[in-house]
Amino acid sequence: MIPLIFLTSLFALPAGTFGARTDVVPVSGQTISLLRRNQSPRDATEWGALAKSQRDNLIAKYGSPKIQKRNTGYNLIVDQLDDSSYYGSLAIGTPAVSFDIKLDTGSSDLWVAGSSCGTLCGSSPTYNPSSSSTFHNLSTPFNIQYGSGSAGGYVAQDTVQMAGFSVSSQSFAVVDVVSTDALISPVSGLLGLAWQSIATSGQMPLWQTLASGNAWDSALFAVQLTRYKNDSTAQQLEPGGVLNMGYTNSSLYTGSIDYIDIPGTPSYWYIPLTSMTVQGNSVSIASGTTAAIDTGTTNIAGPASSIEAIYAQIPNSQPATGEWEGYYSFPCSTTVNVEVSFGGATWSISPADFTVAQTSSTECIGAFFEASIGIGTPSWIFGDAFLKNVYSVFRYNPPSIGFANLSSIAIAENGAGGSVPSATIGISASVTNTSDAPRGHALSVPLSTLLFLAFSAVFLL
């Protein structure tokens, strides 16, 4: 605000101070000296940003009204039970009620425990359809089977919000029957992040609705997961990383993102697995082998012959028994180094992630286990034991998966502790740089916006 005394002093200045007309008339033939303004100190980048802003404003003013503003958002993740599971949050209904939901790139259905679930859902919060004015029951049965459990109920529609984005009439399942231990409080459901073609409900997944509807600046989402498995002081719930929607966060990775195209019709997020080394020795991978990249799987599954070949490189390892059937044990004193490639760069798996558990003073269980996968599906499943080592990007078009090395900022979050994110209604999609934004997750403000604010400030003085 300009002081009043300064405004008063302006009226005492001589006429013509501000270029106003005076009674002085130039004589014919007399020259008038002109004042040449100094060149603006703005550089080419600033002028370019201003030009872009003017062009964008013109297009918005005279262009088609169908153009939709796109945005970005993020959802904070929670690490549950020493890297066993990772969940985020979303909100359903009108008024919106928030829920914690497991993030699963290995399936495509969104489901949440309904109020009729009763004791089967334990102490997990439940969704009450009668409390939402926008709820619509499609009256379609829903039943889904996972490797670790099942869920059943019916398909419905309601408004769903996540990371600041809102989708009206989003289809999801209201579950009233779940298998034992399918839900561990505070988790109330699961968000499938794979493609519609494998959705049990047949409905389009939330992420695909947003990507195909041009709701995001970039048609992709990205995941960074933290590691607490090797932290003896870790609590049951710890900060788990972040889900970026519509953008990649360059503060969380270094170098470039290595994209590998999905080799067929998008279904699972799967890519070719081309090579693997254990302790520096090559493990044979058959031509045409593919691997699904699955945030909903804790460890890494593969064909029995390949898993046997992996542990053959680790002296004194052997098949485990009892509850650990399908896994292998190995000496805890052995540091195991694994590297894999999906046709591009080579990625290392931390020895800390290779160890699942310690079963005795000398014996540990490895993260790679045998699994007989169905025909027509990827023969390998790479879960969180791998994903904790990279920044992962899931791209809508062209359908592909990208990996990049984690930055020092991302690595520093492993075992760092801190407050655990709680279920929220959603973070604004258009403004994510708030005082509550976690380190490394702030969204930068475009230069054109800064110029606009600077010009506006001058006029408001």
List residues with catalytic annotation. Answer: 104, 294
- Backbone region of residue 226 per phi and psi (left: phi > 0; alpha: psi in -120 to 50; beta: other values): beta
Please report, as a single letter, which amino acid is at residue 269: W
* Nearest C-alpha neighbor of 392 from the set 400, 384, 377, 402: 402
Q: Are 252 and 406 in contact (CB under 8 A)?
A: yes
Supply 264's token pair. Answer: 């067929």
Within 10 A of 113 (CB to CB), how many other CB atoms are there?
A: 29
Contacts of 414 (CB under 8 A, 6+ apart): 226, 227, 228, 388
* Nearest C-alpha neighbor of 88 from the set 74, 105, 101, 97: 101
Q: Are 108 and 195 in contact (CB under 8 A)?
A: yes
Q: DSSP letters along 177-198, please?
A: EE-TTS--TTEEEEEE-S-GGG
Dihedral sign of CA atoms 197, 198, 204, 207 in order: negative
CA angle at 119 for the pair 118 and 120, rounded to the nearest 5°:
95
Q: DSSP letters along 283-338, please?
A: ----TT-EEEE-TT-SSEEE-HHHHHHHHTTSTT-EE--GGGTT-EEEETTPPP-E
* Eight-class DSSP state of 342: S
Q: Are 307 and 320 in contact (CB under 8 A)?
A: no
Q: Are 227 and 415 in contact (CB under 8 A)?
A: yes
Q: Are 169 and 157 in contact (CB under 8 A)?
A: yes
